Amino acid sequence: MKIAVPLDENKKDVCIVLARTPYFLFRENGNDAIVPNPAAQAQGGAGIQAAQFLVDSQADALITVRCGQNAAQVFQAAGIKLYKSANKAAADDLAALEQGTLEELTQFHGGYHGIQ
């Protein structure tokens, strides 16, 4: 399973903003890769662009603090499972997912429509 987590500038903590997160952590088969978010500087539609990037990256699951409705629809259409972040550190959320203690993310906000 390939798991994605939005990361803050320090590349360790879960970013509270999914669409404009500076980085994504991908974990697959115990290997981690940190990549820049190509949607971070988008003029508009960053949520959908970030979601499509994760789909194109073949993520199976996403751990995030929150998610907009439009991005959630992209994830749901692609079959990507969404989990609610419960920790500050991405490593702690990944461990919680492995232990089966993270809840699925089921509530989505309307989006920020260009507001940063």
What CATH number is given to the structural domain containing 17? 3.30.420.130
What local confidence, expressed as pLDDT, does residue 28 receive?
A: 97
For residue 23, tell me if it sits in a domain.
yes
Give the containing element (helix H, strand E) for 29: none
What local confidence, expressed as pLDDT, does residue 91 receive?
A: 97
Number of domains in the chain: 1
| Under 8 Å between Cβ of 80 and 60 | yes
Q: What is the pTM of this model?
A: 0.92
For residue 31, tell me if it sits in a domain.
yes
C-alpha to C-alpha distance for 7 and 50, rounded to whole angstroms: 13
For residue 116, tell me if it sits in a domain.
no
C-alpha to C-alpha distance for 100 and 116, rounded to whole angstroms: 33
Tens digit of pLDDT per residue, the chain (116 long)?
999 999 999 999 999 999 999 999 999 999 999 999 999 999 889 999 999 999 999 999 999 999 999 999 999 999 999 999 999 999 999 999 999 999 999 989 876 554 44
